[in-house]
Amino acid sequence: MRFSASVLSGLLLASVWHGAALAAETPVVVAAENTWGDLAAQVAEPDMHVTAILNTPTLDPHLYEPTPAAARLVAQASLLVANGGGYDAWLDKLAQARGGQAVPMIKADGWTGWHTGDNAHLAYNLPAVASFVSRFVAACQAVDPEHASAYDARGKTVLAAVQNVLEHMDTLREKVRGEPVAATEPVFTPLAEGLGLVMKEQAFQVAVMNDVEPPASAVAQFDADIRQHAVRFVAYNAQADRPSVQRLIAQAQAAGVPVLPVHELMPPGTHWQDWMHTTLTQVAQALGQTAP
């Protein structure tokens, strides 16, 4: 069941608005999602205050409708952070509606390796994340040159953490490359590709991502691959538990095919790098490998 974002987001934003008001003299960074907000906070704080509009896994970024509270946050931002790629176009609209001088916006899709039509779930794309961090550091330095060296130092620490995740992925890839896997939605696909996994059930994934029922042929193929153990695990978007997806998950569990829940938004109380390490460890376990 997909939850409406308006009520939950309004309550969450009410709590962060008070903190932002207390730090009125501090530049404010507003992120569309907590994935990018966490990376931004690791670079910017304490010299800037960072707030994420979408910050709980029960919210669906694809269905989010901005609230007045979100508009107020954007109106007082010194920097904006977004995924881009059509994923959070609502932030562009809020930025345009604020009037006055345009506020800088750093988007993950600004990575040179991304092109229109590519997979927009860039939080699972390690090169895109590294590019985002570097560009965000430069943006912080432009907005607040007094603390340029601090942004640079914290940025290097975050980039080292990204490199550590990349090394984890490279080590695991040597063990799992070429394994056939499936997913109900292409959230996890960038990381799967980085691991050299063979991602099946593409037609089913695209349909679910576009919020339409998958074609019967795609459902039948998914059924057959599970029944015949033609895939090593099934990854599913835990934020999009439509009936067709739940049925496949139940079928995989009954057939003894491991299932791997993934999220578009980070679980609260974690950092991006810890989230990725956990995901990689879960992939290793699903494929019967000892986590590196």
Whether residue 60 is contained in a domain is answered as yes
Q: What is the 3-state secondary structure (H, E, C) of the chain?
A: CCECHHHHHHHHHHHHHHHHHHCCCCCEEEEEEHHHHHHHHHHHCCCCEEEEEECCCCECCCCCCCCHHHHHHHHCCCEEEECCCCCCHHHHHHHHHCCCCCCCEEEHHHCCCCCCCCCCCHHHCHHHHHHHHHHHHHHHHHHCHHHHHHHHHHHHHHHHHHHHHHHHHHHHHHHHCCCEEEECCCCCHHHHHHCCCEEECHHHHHHHHCCCCCCHHHHHHHHHHHHCCCCCCEEEECCCCCHHHHHHHHHHHHHCCCEEEECCCCCCCCCHHHHHHHHHHHHHHHCCCCCC
Digitized pLDDT (tens) for each residue of the chain, 292 residues in all: 344 444 444 444 444 444 444 445 799 999 999 999 999 999 999 999 999 999 887 777 777 899 999 999 999 999 999 999 999 999 999 999 987 788 999 999 999 999 988 999 999 999 999 999 999 999 999 999 999 999 999 999 999 999 999 999 999 999 999 999 999 989 999 999 999 999 999 888 888 877 788 889 998 999 999 999 999 999 998 876 678 888 899 999 999 999 999 988 998 889 999 999 999 999 999 999 975 6
Whether residue 99 is contained in a domain is answered as yes
Whether residue 67 is contained in a domain is answered as yes
Cβ pair 22, 77 in contact under 8 A: no
| pLDDT value of position 212 | 81
Q: How many structural domains are present in the chain? A: 2
Listed residues 135, 168, 201: the one ending a domain? 168
Residues 95 and 31 occupy one common structural domain: yes
| pLDDT value of position 5 | 46
Q: Measured between alpha carbons, how far is 260 from 285 in angstroms, rounded to an integer?
A: 10
Whether residue 292 is contained in a domain is answered as no
| pLDDT value of position 291 | 58
Residues 160 and 188 occupy one common structural domain: no
Cβ pair 158, 134 in contact under 8 A: no
- Which domain, by its residues, includes 47? 5-168
Residues 130 and 208 occupy one common structural domain: no
Listed residues 105, 136, 168: the one ending a domain? 168
Residues 148 and 277 occupy one common structural domain: no
Whether residue 117 is contained in a domain is answered as yes
| pLDDT value of position 16 | 45
| pLDDT value of position 98 | 87
Residues 12 and 155 occupy one common structural domain: yes
Residues 226 and 147 occupy one common structural domain: no
Residues 12 and 128 occupy one common structural domain: yes
Whether residue 290 is contained in a domain is answered as no
Residues 164 and 185 occupy one common structural domain: no
Residues 146 and 41 occupy one common structural domain: yes
Whether residue 192 is contained in a domain is answered as yes
pTM of the model: 0.88
The label of the residue with tokens 């694809």 reads 62
Residues 262 and 204 occupy one common structural domain: yes
Whether residue 257 is contained in a domain is answered as yes
Listed residues 139, 168, 197: the one ending a domain? 168
Long-range contacts of 273-277 (CB under 8 A, 24+ apart): 273/161, 273/162, 273/164, 273/165, 275/35, 276/124, 276/126, 276/165, 276/168, 276/191, 277/165, 277/168
Residues 43 and 159 occupy one common structural domain: yes
CATH number at residue 126: 3.40.50.1980
| pLDDT value of position 190 | 95
Residues 78 and 30 occupy one common structural domain: yes
